[in-house]
Structure 1
């Protein structure tokens, strides 16, 4: 979680991150950008509202060569990780931040707790292209839990770009402006951590707000589609890394299939 590829031991970095989180208010006070309801903005919350959910999705079976995982945010509260680990999931993404003024108040318990029971975990950032540039949000994300360490248990941070919960769908940006914003975030995250961030999105939002950009092929794709098939992918990718197939289930948070066996999840954590 340093400004470059971490050279410190993981324990020291984790302790520093927890201290920083403890010193940071969950929501920035005073006048400024809106963060009302930010704790309810989790990966796919706006996608489900705009694109719907196929309620017939139920069986936890992703086909041969798939690995079950989930994602959580402050929306879930404190997670019972020992129980969650018994369900068979091998990885989790945890919301860390939104914009440059919100930190998930449950982040430490969710992120550290999942690590403690042996899950490979990563952090994600809910993008707010309407309030600051991509570089500023990448720095905020890394500084508040979104870094990466080559410990074999940490996934690269993820950028959650989806429908704007506060207003205009594409945050008032043209496709070219949105692509430039995302490139700024991705390049800054790469310079801080040495990893290309995962990109979380839906195909419909991507087409509408980026013009179906094809320039992010180096970033792992985490695609949201709540149906029995993953369907069309955004133009940047020929294959997906993670499919968020349901926003309901017995596990905490949303349900995901990693496109590969558990050893591929581990390989992604190592870079």
Structure 2
């Protein structure tokens, strides 16, 4: 659940920040949420991973001050994280505001992904503190981009992402960037008005540009339903790009994977309290992923 608090000015202890943010003004594109997205709490131009997971985010006000989101946050409707075996982590966005990262490491959350950008018009105002805070707490950290294929090209959005937090560092703790491509929260069609062929071309444009700018293959976050409907279940990326499968069924597993992938690299298994994720392998393999491996 992304119901949390937004504080005032943020100061990050130790001065550790994410990749340098660009200073150029972002391009604008219309992004009024559709009825379904509005009911799910999506704000104009600011959707999050798995926004259509059925968890309502409205009705809980964001408190003022520097109240922090913790592993046992009292400002959410549930009081504890969903248990899961293996290597687990969380993902956050501006909805979480100030995060007490140490509290998550104490319950063995070892990695975090932070929303950096959306389209070519949105930058998470909490990105630097959230990303840097996760790193300072000793977690592996990475950034994600919420795609808007009905807006600018894949190339322009990948460039915007890299310039505003999505760049990769060879420091052994930075995970590859993520293309979050899922249900359209703004238009009337789930596929952003694109044909399957054009959607695959848009995704290709983004991924090729991201790799050219960072040397890394981006992770693809999606659902089996969306991938099948909007790309024709293309298998084009199964051997190059890690899959982040979204299926909120912690007791029954990730289910049938899309696109010919034989395994997931990450699995978003719950959105209770906060988005929770499982890495498919060991902590040692997670470090390999952060050091230019797969």
| TM beyond 0.5 | yes
Corresponding residue of 1:34: 31
Alpha-carbon displacement from aligned partner over 1:44-89 (angstroms, at most 9, x marks no partner): 112447xxxxx9xx74123xxx201110000111111122221101
Question: Which residue is equivalent to 1:76?
Answer: 96
Determine if the alignment matches structure 1 residue 240 to structure 2 residue 264.
Answer: yes
Q: For residue 104 of structure 2, give the secondary structure of its aligned residue in structure 1.
A: helix
TM-superposed CA distance for 1:137, in Å, is 0.2
**Number of the residue aligned with 1:17:** 20
Tell me which of 187, 198, 216 is aligned to 2:208: 187
Task: Work out whether residues 53 and 248 of structure 2, in 8 Å CA contact, stay in contact via their aligned partners in 1.
Answer: no
Aligned residues: 242
2:171 corresponds to: 151
Shift of residue 247 of structure 1?
0.6
Out of 43, 50, 56, which is 1:44 matched to?
A: 50
SS at 2:191's partner residue? coil
Q: Alpha-carbon deviation of 1:12?
A: 11
Q: Is residue 2:129 matched to residue 1:109?
A: yes
Q: Distance in 2 between matches of 1:209 and 1:39?
A: 21
Of 222, 229, 248, which residue of structure 1 is paired with 2:244?
222
Partner of 2:198 in structure 1? 177
Question: Runs (4+) of structure 1 moved beyond 6 Å?
Answer: none
Deviations 1:109-147 (A, max 9, x none): 100110011000000000000011100000000000001
Cα displacement (A) at 1:258: 0.3
Q: List runs of 5+ in structure 2 lacking aligned partners.
A: 1-13, 34-42, 56-77
Cα distance in structure 1, aligned partners of 2:254 and 2:280: 11
**CA–CA distance in structure 2, aligned partners of residues 232 and 34 of structure 1:** 32
Contact kept, 8 Å, 2:268 with 2:276, in 1: the verdict is: yes
* Preserved contact between residue 38 and residue 102 of structure 1 (Cα < 8 Å): no
Specify the alignment match of 1:6 in structure 2: none
Residue 114 of structure 2 aligns to a residue in which SS? strand
Q: 1:40 to 1:99 in 2, by over 3 A?
A: closer
Asked which structure has the greater RCO (Cα within 8 Å, sep 6+), the reply is: 1
RMSD: 2.4
CA apart distance, 1:248: 1.1
Normalized against structure 2, the TM-score is what? 0.77
Q: Distance in 2 between matches of 1:233 and 1:127?
A: 20
Cα shift at 1:264: 1.0
Deviations 1:196-219 (A, max 9, x none): 000000001100000000001110
In structure 2, do the counterparts of structure 1 residues 162 and 94 end up closer, same or farther at CA, with 3 Å as the change threshold?
A: same
**Counterpart Cα distance in 1 of 2:32 and 2:100:** 27
Contact 1:46 1:164 in 2 (8 A): no
Instruction: Compare the two structures and name the one with the higher helix fraction.
Output: 1
Q: Is residue 84 of structure 2 the alignment partner of residue 61 of structure 1?
A: yes
Name the CA shift for 1:99/1:173 in 2 (closer, same or farther; >3 Å): same
Aligned mates of 1:177, 1:40 — CA distance in 2:
24
